Copies of this chain bind each other. A is one copy, B any other.
Amino acid sequence: MREIQAAKNNKIKKLKKLHQRKYRNQSEDYLLEGYHLIEEAAKAHANIKEVFLDKRGMDLWQDWVEHHQFTYYVLSDEAMKSLSEQPTPQGIIALVQKANNYPSDFSGKWLLLDNVQDPGNVGTIVRTADAAGFDGIFLGEGTADKYSPKVLRSMQGSQFHLPIFSGELTEVIAEFQSIGSKIYGTKLDPEAISYKEVETKDNFVLILGNEGQGVAENILQLTNQNLYIPIYGDAESLNVGVAAGILIYALIS
C-alpha cells in the first residue's frame, strides 16, 4: 500500500491518459471505475493489476482489496477527483489488463456492431445481448471503444459475462460463414424481410449498424438475409438500442 497526495503526481498523470482512446490503443490496460464493476472483473478472473482508493473507498473496500491481494494505492480526495471520470467519485478505480482479442470458437449466437457511435447505445446493446444469453460480440470499425469510461458504465459489467472482440467485420463474417452460421443484417427498408418471418438456427449472427446510416452496404451484401422492423406509426426510425432489443429477443424465441 502506498499513498498518493498530489493530483499532478506522475503516476496519476500517466493513468489519466487511459481515458483517451489513442493511449488505450497503445496500452495493454484500461481503467475501471466503481466497486460493482471491479467486483465483476474480479469474479471473471480479469487481471486486476492495481487498485486506487480514496479515504472513503478504504473504509468500504480495504478488506475486500486485501483479501484479493491486489496491489493498492491510497489517494487523497484531490488525486481521486483528478483520476476519476465521475462528478462524484465512488472512491475506487482499478487498472485492469485488457482481455484476449480473438475468439477460439465462432459457434452460437453472436452480435456484430458496425459503426455504432454512441457509447450509451453500445453499452445498452451489450447488456441486452448478455441478458439474452448471446455467446459473444464483435465491435467493428467506427463503433465506440469498449474500454471507454461511458461504454464501461453502461455495460454494467456485461463485458465480464460474454466476450467482446474488435475486428474488421467483413473478415469476421467470413469466419462465421465458414462454420455455417446464418448471417442476418438489418436494414431500414421494407424490401428487407420482416424480423417476424425469420426462423433462426442455433448458430447465427445479427448485425446492427450506425445510428443514422444503418449497416454499411458492403457488409449487407455478405449476409444471408436482411431484416427490418415494421414501423406502424409516424416515427421515422427506432433507437438502435431498442431495435437491437426487439431483434435479439425475437431471434432467440
Contacts and interface: CB of A to CB of B under 8 A. Distances in A.
Contact of A239 (B127, B238, B252): B127
Interface in A30-44: none
A246 B250 CA distance: 8
Nearest to A237: B131
Contacts of A6: none
A249 B236 CA distance: 16
A46 to B, nearest CB: 15
Contacts of A233: 129-134, 158, 161-162
Contact of A245 (B134, B162, B243): B243
Chain A: number of interface residues, binned into ranges? 35 or more
Contacts of A243: 245
A111 to B, nearest CB: 12
A235 B130 contact: yes
A231 interface: yes
Given A241-B242, A243-B245, A245-B245, 18 more contacts: A124-B239, A124-B241, A127-B239, A128-B235, A128-B238, A128-B242, A131-B229, A131-B237, A133-B232, A158-B234, A161-B234, A161-B235, A196-B253, A232-B252, A239-B241, A242-B242, A245-B246, A246-B249
5 nearest A-B pairs in the assembled complex, by CB-CB distance:
A133-B232, A242-B245, A161-B234, A131-B235, A130-B235
